[in-house]
Structure 1
């Protein structure tokens, strides 16, 4: 049985998130910061494309390091959307509010994970 690598899990997470953006765009449209130009749906779909491209890049050993580094930057770039969601959900029931608030600090381990995958790819 083949051992699942950290890079496979990261690629799977990004692929799943990308697919979710296409399948359930409305929920992602709601967290797009309004100060961004264009429609929220365009940003939702752009994010989906980026996540799927990063997943594919991480899945391929030759492009893994650069793609994982780009994924770390992407995880930083989506912090404003997570902050908006946390602010918008301040009046939701406590479990939903806590889940939205947890998305912001969750970006830190995601960034560190992507950086580790990038480093490991260079070994």
Structure 2
């Protein structure tokens, strides 16, 4: 019994995974950065879990929301620049989702026609 590895195929899969990872993480982080620049930092309300070790208190959540509102007031961008950053953020999130859907589409296509 002999096991042979197709190293070219292995390198192709490795390269595709690296490119996909860079694209998804890059677009997502760019989207978050532009969202903050647009003055809309994502503030997530605390969640209650039955087995949670640490839950953010309502007081801490209120403090975080107040700090985000204060930071948004200090934003030096004009309204047009904020709007452009917001559009760029949404476009970046769409590209991130498109990269994920393209990868899933490739998997489905290969399984049906391979």
TM interval, shorter chain, is: 0.3 to 0.5
Relative to total residues, which structure has the larger helix share, 1 or 2? Answer: 1
Work out which structure has the larger RCO, using CA pairs closer than 8 Å and 6 or more positions apart in sequence. 2
TM-score by length of 2: 0.39
